[in-house]
Structure 1
Amino acid sequence: MSTSPTRHSNRGNKPKLLVVDDEPDNLDLLYRTFYRQFQVLRAERGRHALEILAQQPDIAIIISDQRMPEMAGTEFLGQAAQQYPDVMRIILTGYTDSEDLVEAINQGQVFKYVTKPWDEDDLRETVQQALDAHNLIKTRTADLNRVLRQETLLNTITHRIRSAQTPQDMLQTIVDVVGRSLEVSYCSIRPYCAQPSEESCFTYRADAVQALATENSSIIAQTLWPTDRVLVLESVLEASGNQIPDAQERLSAFAALGIQSSVLVPLISRKDLVAVMALHRCQLERPWAADDLQLLITLADQAALALAQAYTYEQVQALARREALINTITSAIRSSLNPRKTFAAITGQLGHCLLYTS
């Protein structure tokens, strides 16, 4: 017969310890030893312990007896190691020369073994070592996942930017990739390096707001403004007038879009403001993470450089076309003394140029 997980007040702040033993007296002893430090879960069979793990995969440590009916401790811990590799596993045994135990240790299925009868202080020390190892693995795994996520996003942005044909394509690419990756409701960019206008705002909309989207570009544009620093608005409604210029008009735009929380990130190249990117959430489900903000700053630096280069290239092309047009018109004037033919040549070239640039 097995018992349900033990309930204890304020347990939500405690790490979880699963103890598995077919002897109720041992389960009670282990509970009394660790209930102050851990949320202790109990099982009398390996199969029941696997069911508890499936329901609560955030268990930090398992202490399991070796000799149990139906499933030995090494067999149970072997299955737990395959399905939940981050859980630290300790085995209790009176037979240190068991071939199964030696094999389990050699295969990394057991963190440590403790011989019966155990010394309480030694067991406490072993469990503390297991908890320290679990926390270290958890921290390093989270760090690795964060770095991989950042590298993936940076590589995606870099590749997509390089394949963009125009600065406009580049801007739309940035908001699409960033908006999807950071799971925001809106992600917008408004360029400021050359004749900004309400129509030059590029926006990503999540599916949840896409179906309800009735806004126009002028409303979205009101949620961005020139800034030379990262601005975090955890709650738009609680933001001060010092944080939001023309606050009344802009707060109306935030309200119309259902925006609750925002971040504004400047894209600056050579001390010049190239554009401003805004990320908006329509729910206050969590604060903006420091890692995400740092990632946005890195992305903004790369995007600002790429955009500045793209705009410079466009300007060079425009100057080249203007120079070519001047040379063509000059040649037409010099090659004909007939005013009508000269005028026709000039208007033809101007018309071709306007059609090309449009």
Structure 2
Amino acid sequence: MITLDRSKKLKILVVDDEPDNLDLLYRTFRRDFQVLKAESGLNALEVLASEGEVAVIISDQRMPEMKGTEFLSRTVPQFPDTVRIILTGFTDIEDLVEAINAGQVYKYITKPWDPGELKAVVQRAAETYDLLKQRTEELRRAQGQINILSVLVEVTQAATSLESSLAPIAKAFTETFAANTCILQLIADNSLTGTQGVYSDHGVMANWLSQDPLTSQAIATGATQIALNVAKEPALESSSIYQETGIKAHLVTPITYRGKVLGVLSLQWLQPVILREDELKLIQLSGELVAIALASSSLQ
């Protein structure tokens, strides 16, 4: 559920064994993109292993040790959404057609290339990448809604007690929103109780919400509290709790039913995150569904 920061330049990787061409590609795109460089296919694989996914790869075809099409084909399994462009200065139609048909190459450009044409192609490729990522995120959100609804229905019908329903719900939220930890803790008389469900993907199951200023604000105001980059929140960054836990992003939303706060839902990340407005709404809507499920369980 964590999305790309659209305010940052997309990363592209340019690969060419000729230093002059590599520098020219870098200069062509550095204003619009964060440009990574590699002088061979092997070096490019190392760059990807270090830097992670890029939006677009522009690779020369004829390089020593590894052809451009071979290099690009090796990037497909790990980075299926990356858009790949091949630069070729000779006629090697068989290799290019095979790569294009296999979905490994988006477009090929012949050398010497026209800078304006290449920039237009790369811009379209970046837009294609952005669209792919948005559609992937939409599918994940839809699947996330289904997962949470399924868990809530199952928990409501099968849980032997209210307490036993909390940990499965916390796990569903952790997985759906790509968090590292989720805590679902009940409230009585506007105070945290000992009834809770905790799920963590890294083995840390400690509950520190009673010492957390965001949780206190969420309970007091009845509104979601968000710190998606603790380092930019002086009051939180200096907090011993955040320093000890290593939490870099935290969201706390009240679980409210008919005006009564039943609990709080805490989503915690070990890295700063970005949530779009629709993703935040999904978390809040899911919280409302949890409130209904908890109210139903308490009436059984």
TM-score normalised according to structure 2 size: 0.71
Deviations 1:257-312 (A, max 9, x none): 999966342432xx463723343769995688755643443334333434444444
d(CA) in 2 for partners of 1:275, 1:296: 16
Tell me, yes or no, if structure 1 residue 276 matches structure 2 residue 263. yes
User: Which one-letter code corresponds to 1:190 in the other structure?
Assistant: I
Match of 2:27 among 28, 32, 40: 32
d(CA) in 1 for partners of 2:295, 2:222: 18
Name stretches of at least 5 consecutive residues in structure 1 with no aligned partner: 1-11, 240-253, 314-358
Tell me, yes or no, if structure 1 residue 302 matches structure 2 residue 289. yes
Q: Return the structure number with greater relative CO, CA threshold 8 A, min gap 6.
A: 2
Cα gap change, 1:96 to 1:148, in 2 (>3 Å):
farther
* Structure with max Cα Rg: 1
User: Which one-letter code corresponds to 2:225 in the other structure?
Assistant: V
Cα gap change, 1:53 to 1:183, in 2 (>3 Å):
closer
Cα gap change, 1:174 to 1:119, in 2 (>3 Å):
closer
Q: Could you say which residue in structure 2 is the equivalent of 1:123?
A: 118
Cα gap change, 1:156 to 1:56, in 2 (>3 Å):
same
Q: Could you say which residue in structure 2 is the equivalent of 1:140?
A: 135
d(CA) in 1 for partners of 2:295, 2:109: 64
d(CA) in 2 for partners of 1:283, 1:85: 26
TM-score normalised according to structure 1 size: 0.61
After superposition, residues 1-358 of structure 1 pair within 5 angstroms as 13-96=8-91, 98-170=93-165, 174=169, 178=173, 182-184=179-181, 186-190=183-187, 201-205=194-198, 208=204, 210=206, 229-232=222-225, 234=227, 263-268=252-257, 271=258, 273=260, 275-279=262-266, 290=277, 293-313=280-300
- Corresponding residue SS for 1:58: coil
Deviations 1:97-148 (A, max 9, x none): 6211111111111111111221111111111111111121122223323333
User: Which one-letter code corresponds to 1:89 in the other structure?
Assistant: R
- Pairwise CA distance, 1:89: 1.0
- Corresponding residue SS for 1:82: coil
Name stretches of at least 5 consecutive residues in structure 2 with no aligned partner: 1-6
| Higher fraction of helix | 1
| Higher fraction of strand | 2
Cα gap change, 1:60 to 1:281, in 2 (>3 Å):
closer
- Corresponding residue SS for 2:76: helix
With 165-174 and 152-161 compared, the bigger mean Cα shift is at: 165-174
Aligned residues: 276
Percent of aligned pairs with the same amino acid: 37
**RMSD over aligned Cα, in angstroms?**
4.2
Cα gap change, 1:312 to 1:224, in 2 (>3 Å):
farther
- Corresponding residue SS for 1:263: strand
Deviations 1:29-71 (A, max 9, x none): 2222222222333222221121112111232222112122221
Deviations 1:175-214 (A, max 9, x none): 57557874447431136xxxx797965123565463xx7x
